[in-house]
Structure 1
């Protein structure tokens, strides 16, 4: 009998956050900006909404991993920022499990926000725009994970 895989809520050990915070953060920014550009190119992100992100700064902080990614959207591309802006237009903070639950569509941003597992700080209108963009993404179906697949 096949069961859907669910991502449990978890928190990485504190030592990982301590170590992660001392590592260079620009690779996270580069990886996230690249992934967002691919998502935009294949049509997962609505082009009309992307224009509203122009020249705004964004930060995504994975609290329990000590990782921070910062980027902007300019001239039709997501571009990594090599340093974290002191006052980004929008900042998302959560533990790794919350971000994974969002990506897997197991939880929505509102639920995580009200459970205090996701913090969204900055421009409220921009936050709603990004939330609506994420909600509108139609992910391609992923194969089911089962230890008994043949």
Structure 2
């Protein structure tokens, strides 16, 4: 079967900030940069419902996000000890349990014929995971305040934490903003 020709690249739509006049954009950026995620928890009835739903769709979203970051901001060679290991992320207030693993082609949903205890379980609330992702909270602060828990292979937990700490988030922001200009 002959190879298909590459699809033409589409122009990138302008970002909302690019459509605003300079002074308004600057004021909005200044105001938004000071915002913090408010303290919240997912309501118990919602968590009860979510815990009964299939966990595959949110797990696929997590692995997609991790694969987008892999090799861009998460160095694959550093994460090599995670290969083939059963990792689990528990979003405590939302009733989510996401099982995943790292393979040669990237992160994927963990599946097994036999029930298996995860090698590493990372637990926190929705708010705390979002704060970690946005770098509003430091993993050490959350860990020592018992808002982030790691169970299982502590070496894997330290590897994950140290990898996240080693990411140069400011350089990444600069690189991403440079692409948009």
**Alpha-carbon shift at residue 96 of structure 1 (Å):** 0.4
Deviation at 1:76, TM superposition (A): 3.9
User: 1:85, CA displacement in angstroms?
Assistant: 5.6
- Select the residue among 98, 107, 113 that pairs with 2:137: 107
SS at match of 1:141: helix
Match of 1:146 in 2: none
Question: Structure 2 stretches of 5 or more lacking a match?
Answer: 1-26, 177-181
Shift of 1:141: 2.5
Compute the RMSD of aligned alpha carbons: 2.1
Q: Is the 8 A contact 1:10 1:97 kept in 2?
A: yes
**Cα distance in structure 1, aligned partners of 2:88 and 2:82:** 13
- Say if 1:137 and 1:85 are closer, same or farther in 2 by CA, change over 3 A: farther
The structure carrying a bigger helix percent of its residues is 2
Q: TM-score, normalization: structure 2?
A: 0.72
How many residues in Structure 1 have an aligned counterpart in Structure 2? 142
Distance 2:159 2:105 in 1: 17
Deviations, residues 5-35 of structure 1 (Å, cap 9, x unaligned)? 1112221211111011011101111111111
Tell me if the contact between 1:29 and 1:82 (Cα under 8 Å) persists in the aligned partners.
no
1:14 is aligned to: 44
Offset, 1:79: 1.2
* Structure 2 equivalent of residue 75 of structure 1: 104
Alpha-carbon spacing, 1:9–1:86, altered in 2? closer, same or farther (3 Å): farther
The secondary structure found in structure 2 opposite 1:38 is helix
Per the normalisation by structure 1, the TM-score is 0.85
Identify, as 1 or 2, the structure richer in strand: 1
Residue 72 (structure 1) shift? 0.6
What residue in structure 2 maps to residue 31 of structure 1?
A: 61
Taking a change above 3 Å as real, the CA distance of residues 17 and 82 of structure 1, as seen in their structure-2 partners, is farther
The structure showing larger relative contact order (alpha-carbon pairs under 8 Å, at least 6 residues apart) is: 1
> Where does the alignment leave 5 or more consecutive residues of structure 1 unmatched?
144-150
Distance of 1:110 and 1:12 partners within structure 2: 23
- Structure 2 residue 77 is matched with structure 1 residue 45: no
